[in-house]
Amino acid sequence: MKHGFFVTGTDTGVGKTLISSALVHYFAQSGLRAAGMKPVAAGCERVGAHLLSEDVASLRDAGNVDIPLEVINPYAFEPPLAPHIAAEAEGVRIELTIIHEAFKKAADTVDILVVEGVGGFRVPLNDQEDTADLACRLGLPIILVVGLRLGCLNHALLTAESIVARGLKLAGWVANCIDPEMEMQQENLAALGKRISAPCLGVVSYQSVADFNTVAMAFDTQEIRNLVCA
């Protein structure tokens, strides 16, 4: 693996999967061997002998490297609950060591790997560790997805502050409009740009039907290129 990124968000439901899939698609279209990984997924459906989430399916569709499902998604749960609660309900403990081993297997097969977190940056994974601990364990630069809606300024700035406080690199952020009626969107974007010490990688307009191919075209091409040249 030449490059890897960990995608987190200001909250759940802000479009992490859409942005992660778009990034994987963008890199694959650029001629790189690219894949996505979602170590923990809840709200999965049973497909044959496997549990599969829509998020994981999207990441697989976006990439151009075939990696076993159990590698790109080592923990899958049916209940649409917080991951540590879903795991406890099934008598499972989410172990960062297992995720890290799967990550290394995936990384060995690609040029670039996009790892999508679950929920926000501090969502618990077990009784002691959360997604911030996972991000630290993997040691990847972070891409923050900001869900543009009322309250996003506080959520974005607190998350950016938490990322830096953990000693991680905030490589960039993507603004994703999840509220089509949000007022003063440009003013909010300007406020974020002044306060987040990382480049904006793109601004994604509201989409009633998500399409990672379309979203990939909203990225700032130069800033994305800078990511893989850093």
CATH number of domain containing 141: 3.40.50.300
Residue 13, by phi and psi: left (phi above 0), alpha (psi -120 to 50) or beta?
left
Residue-level length of the chain: 230
Q: Is 6 exposed, middle or buried (0-12, 13-18, 19+ CB in 10 A)?
A: buried
Cα distance between residue 197 and residue 125, in whole Å = 28
Answer whether residue 210 shows pLDDT above 80: no
Instruction: Determine the pLDDT at residue 207.
Output: 83
Answer whether residue 164 shows pLDDT above 90: yes
Full residue range of the structural domain in which residue 158 is found: 3-229
In this prediction, residues 210-230 reach a mean pLDDT of 88
Identify which has the larger pLDDT, 228 or 5: 5
Count how many domains the chain has.
1
pLDDT grade for 1, boundaries at 50, 70 and 90? confident
Answer whether residue 34 shows pLDDT above 80: yes
Answer whether residue 36 shows pLDDT above 80: yes
Which residues are CB-contacts of 171 (< 8 A; sequence separation ≥ 6)?
A: 5, 141, 142, 143, 198, 227, 230
Active site residues: 38
